[in-house]
Every structure is written in C-alpha cells, then in structure tokens.
Chains A and B, each alone.
Chain A
Amino acid sequence: MEFEELYQDVILDHSRRPRNFCELPEADVHIHANNPMCGDDVTVHVKFGADEALEAVTFTGNGCSICMASASMMTQKLKKKSRAESTELMQKFHEMLTAEQEPEGDKRLGDLQLLKGVRKFPLRVKCATLAWHALQEALDKPQEKGAHLSIEDEM
C-alpha cells in the first residue's frame, strides 16, 4: 500500500529518535512555526558561522512522524551549508513534494528523497515542509542576534 512507501524505516527512525533535537542557546535566530490545522509545532534554531554558512541547526517541538522526520533530516542536511546551497536544497525539497510533474530524483537531497511519498498525500505536505518554512524565514530576512520569530504556516 502507498502508506508503506510513506512511512519507511529511515523516516520512522528519525521520528522516534530525532537528530539535532535540542535547544541552541548560542543561536542567532529561533523561528517558531505551527500548523494551526493540526497542531504540529516546531521551533528551528540556527547559528550562522563567520562565512554566513549554517554552522549549527537544531529544532525542538512536537509533531507527527512526517513533521519530525523531515525536521530531523533537514537539520542534518543543512549543517555547514552556505546560504545559497541551503536555499537551493530547500527549493529542491519543495519541488519534490509539490511540483505538478514529479521531478527527477536529486542525489543532493540524499535521504530526504525518502519523503517523496508525501506527494501522494496532499494534506500531509504541510507536515513535511513546516520546519523548512521556519528555516526559510531565518534565511530570507536579516535578523538581530538572538531574535525569536514566529510564523504560521500558510502553504
């Protein structure tokens, strides 16, 4: 069945034991995002390095397995990436889930490609993109050090 494709072992593993799941007191920005429809609620913490790369990315919060796994895999993938690379990966990930035509697999996404199954569950796309939207907010706008932002997911 299609849901077995959605809930692969790697995804369940990330949702049960999320990586980089902790506060980051030295973060430059904390972005809280929630999905008012269902109650998924995460905060992404980002510390930028001297070269403006993402030196550390962590997250905290609660959500369904898709939300937690996606956030967990995102923090692993984007660590040490430049802003430009992060933005590009974010776009690739988004396209993988939402483009009308299913895009060709992109190796740069690595394990994140396992979340492609979410495409078949349109109501769950929000779950998979919640942490990413929070991160986008951090990348898009210059922030004062230690800023706490909040977004309501609208996608």
Chain B
Amino acid sequence: MGLITEPNETKTDWKKIRSEFPILDQQVNGHPLVYLDNAATSQKPRPVLDALLRYYERDNSNVHRGIHELSNRSTAAFEGARKRVAQFLNAKSAHEIIFTRGTTESINLVAQAWGSSHLKAGDKILLTEMEHHSNIVPWQLLAERTGAKLSYVPVTGDDGLLDLSRIDSLLADGVKIFSMTHISNTLGTINPVRELCAKARALGVTTLVDAAQSSGHLPVDVREIGCDFLAFSGHKICGPTGIGVLYGREEILNDMPPYQGGGEMISSVDFFKTTWNVIPHKFEAGTPDMAGAVGLHAAMDYLDAIGREAILRHDQQLASHALQRLSEIKGIRLFGPPLDRAASHSERGGLVSFLLPDVHAHDVVTIADQYGVALRGGHHCNQPLMRKLGIQSTSRASFYFYNTLDEVDRMVDVLKKIQKFFTRGI
C-alpha cells in the first residue's frame, strides 16, 4: 500500500525509513508490535544509536574542562550539537540554546530564574486549559512564591480548540508571561502560536512555547513564531532520554539570574562571592548530558534528512485516516479538532484521543496490548482538562513517521474487537 498519495512525496521511502528502527521489528504478546505511543516517547533510529555508541567508544570525556584530545573532541561534539539545535529552531545564535534534561526542566528553569526575578504579587501568568501538568505546576509553584495569579485561555470543548474570543482582554489584564503548548498532547490541536505570540509581544508580555509535541513533527522556527522561550525534549524527536532544550532570546537570557549553582556556570568563585559565566553556560551547572547532546544531534540530522514538512503531512494523513475509521464505531467519542478541520491540515497534528462507548480507557489499553498495539490510556497529565471535559481519561493513539496506514487499520480492527467483547450480553 502506498503510504503517501501526494505526488511530491513519492521520493520518500517510508518503508526503508521504518526499517532503520530496530525496536519496531518485534512481536509483542504474539503479534507484530504496533507502536502508537509516540506522544509519550518516540523510538530511535540506527544512526542515533550508532552516534551514542561511537561517542562512548571513542570520544567520551568531560567537556570544557580538559585540555587533552578527548576533552577537545567531546567539547566540540557538545558545542556542535548546540549549534545544530540553533539551526534546527532557526535561532539567531547558539548562545540562545540551553541544554536541560527535557521540556519539564526547561519550563522550570524559566519559572524559577526568569519568574522569580520578573514577577511580583498581583502579576498574572496566562496559560491555556490544554496545558500538560509540566506547563501548569511550575507556574503554580512560582505563583505561590511570588503572589502572582494564574489565568487560563479556555478550551472550547471536545473540539479541542482554544477559545480566543477574549484573548485580548485576558492578555491585557496584568499578564507578564503567556506560556502555551504548540500541539496538545491530549487533543492533537495545533495552536496558532505565531498569532498568540504577536498579540502578547504587542502588549509587552513575555512568551513561552511548549514544543514537546511539535519540534519533531513540524518545522519550528523561533523567529517566525516570535516567542521569547521555547522548550522541547530530545526523546520525543528520536533522540535519547535525559536531554532537552530551552531556547531563550539572547537579551532575555542575559537579563536572567542563574538557575542552579555549580561547576561550569561560573566565571570565578571566591569563598563569599561568585561571578557568573556567560550564556548559555550560566544556566548549565554541572557536567551536562554530553552523550545525550550527541544523540540529539544525530536525531535532528535524521529528521531533517526526511524533512519535517513531509513528516507532518505523513502524520496528519495517518490521523485523518484514524479519525475516519474510528467514526465507524457507533457511539465513539472523539476529541480534538474534527475531521473537516483536520483535513485542512492546519489545526490537527498526528494524534487521536477517543472514548469507546461502555469501555474504560484502561481496559482498552490492556486488551489492545494483548494484540501488540501500544496505546496510552489515562489523563495524559492533563487532569484539569479532563475535569473540564467531564471525563476521567481517554485512550490515545499518537503517530510518527514510521507508522503506517496498515497499522492504523490494525488498531481500529482491534478496537472494534474490544468494543464487541465488552458489550457482549448487553
């Protein structure tokens, strides 16, 4: 079956690409693995695994400190990865790239270092109702420390769009920072971050974009988006776990106090007084995840060789097909922008959340797993959104470029079996 029907995509050999992911070639519970939990974490292609092994076999040494050859090599690899991230995001300079452990730490860094020095009692922090816990809780902690208040851009309902009818007045209400997700990990919605950042900027509001679900799935250009901060994780874009990125505009980073204290982040230390290193090192205390950066570099090369435009179209095609097939199940509740909006390809990324009638998400996921289909069931770290939608949990299938239309069909067939099994005797 040809995966991509658009003529300009005929050159992409998706089958060959898939074969470069060793983990996908296995049986789970006696069935070929269908891995559809990519929003949680992605799998790693051979070139990323090779880069990690090569680093440890040849170049491993601490960065920035040694003068010997291996230290030169690891420093070059680490700083080379930073340059590559800058290019990946179209940042102005590599100084604007801070390595962290992941999106969560990146957001915490901003909430602590920027927030503590820029917010005072009564200031507002604006979020959206579709944020992951990692883009809510750090701000709640900051609000507790500073006396700032949280406010939220509402979500319309099951359609999963941001209700922007009151955005201007929300932003004008003493907001100092607006932190928003680019793609919702539960609804699949692609938010209009460029427009939102422009509105915020016009009012002098600082912006942060949570790109955990977007950076490996569509072209992300921080200068085009016009955000002040942007965060993502390596492991969701085919890179290793434990490495993530915070992009920050140079002026704003220069203006921030450090995040953690330790080696690497200092310029000079006296017993009673320390001066800080320049950015980005000011924000990178301690030995960083060097191998992680090397692996992330390989992952970005891998994704860009395919092209993130092509990846987006592929994922969206799978999501549209899934939505279409899932609507065959009578009584199913689908979340996120509906098919007609998904078809326009501007408002929905490659994931689908749903509730089967009369079957709890937990039970769906347990049985799907028995057929080798890996789904996610639960609140997806979106408890406030779940409450708003009046549900406890959903099942979620999240796609990536190595998934196939055939896998989507297999998932739907399994879901139909589950539905039948659970409603027997009703």
Contacts and interface: CB of A to CB of B under 8 A. Distances in A.
Interface in B378-395: 378-379, 383, 386, 392-393
A2 interface: yes
Contacts of B337: none
A124 interface: yes
Interface stretch (A46-54, A58-66, A147-155): A58-66
A7 interface: yes
Contacts of B360: 63-65
Contact of A121 (B366, B377, B378, B379): B366
A151 to B, nearest CB: 17
Q: Which of the listed residues B362, B383, B421, B426 has the most CB atoms from chain A within 10 Å of its own CB?
A: B362
Given A38-B393, A39-B392, A62-B392, A7 B378 contact: no
Interface residues of A, number: 24
A127 B22 CA distance: 33
Contacts of B378: 37-39
Given A7-B422, A64-B361, A39 B383 contact: yes
Interface string A1-17: 11110110100100010
Interface residues of B, number: 21
A6 B369 CA distance: 14
A12 B422 contact: yes
B370 A124 contact: no
B37 to A, nearest CB: 14
B367 interface: yes
Interface majority SS (helix, strand, loop, mixed), chain A: helix
B377 A65 contact: no
B370 A2 contact: yes
A1 B393 contact: no
B425 interface: yes
Contacts of B359: 65
Contacts of A65: 359-360, 362-363, 422
A3 B422 contact: no
A37 B386 CA distance: 13
Contacts of B367: 3, 7
Interface in A11-57: 12, 16, 37-41
B392 A1 contact: no
B370 A16 contact: no
Q: Which of the listed residues B367, B386, B424 has the most CB atoms from chain A within 10 Å of its own CB?
A: B367
A37 B379 CA distance: 8
B363 A16 contact: no
Contact of B366 (A16, A62, A124): A124
Contacts of A38: 361-362, 377-379, 393
B377 A7 contact: no
A38 B392 CA distance: 8
B362 A3 contact: no
Contacts of A121: 366
Contacts of A63: 360, 392
Contact of A39 (B393, B424, B425): B393
A64 B370 contact: no
Given A7-B421, A38-B379, A39-B392, A66 B426 contact: no
Given A3-B370, A38-B377, A38-B378, A127 B426 contact: no
A88 to B, nearest CB: 29
Interface in B149-167: none
Q: Which of the listed residues A4, A37, A39 has the most CB atoms from chain B within 10 Å of its own CB?
A: A39
A6 B379 CA distance: 23
B422 A64 contact: no
Nearest to A124: B366
A66 B363 contact: yes
Q: Which of the listed residues B360, B367, B379, B425 has the most CB atoms from chain A within 10 Å of its own CB?
A: B360
Interface string A120-146: 010110010000000000000000000
A40 B361 CA distance: 11
Nearest to B377: A38
Nearest to B380: A39
Contacts of A124: 362, 366
A112 B422 CA distance: 20
Nearest to B387: A39
Given A38-B377, A39-B386, A7 B362 contact: no
Contacts of B392: 39-41, 62-63
A66 B361 CA distance: 12
B117 to A, nearest CB: 32
A43 B392 CA distance: 15
Interface in B250-279: none
17 contacts: A1-B370, A7-B367, A12-B425, A16-B358, A37-B378, A38-B361, A38-B362, A38-B378, A38-B379, A40-B362, A62-B392, A64-B361, A65-B359, A65-B422, A66-B363, A67-B362, A123-B366
Interface of B: 358-363, 366-367, 370, 377-379, 383, 386, 392-393, 421-422, 424-426
What are the nearest 8 A-B pairs in CB distance? A64-B362, A64-B360, A39-B392, A39-B393, A38-B378, A39-B379, A3-B370, A3-B367
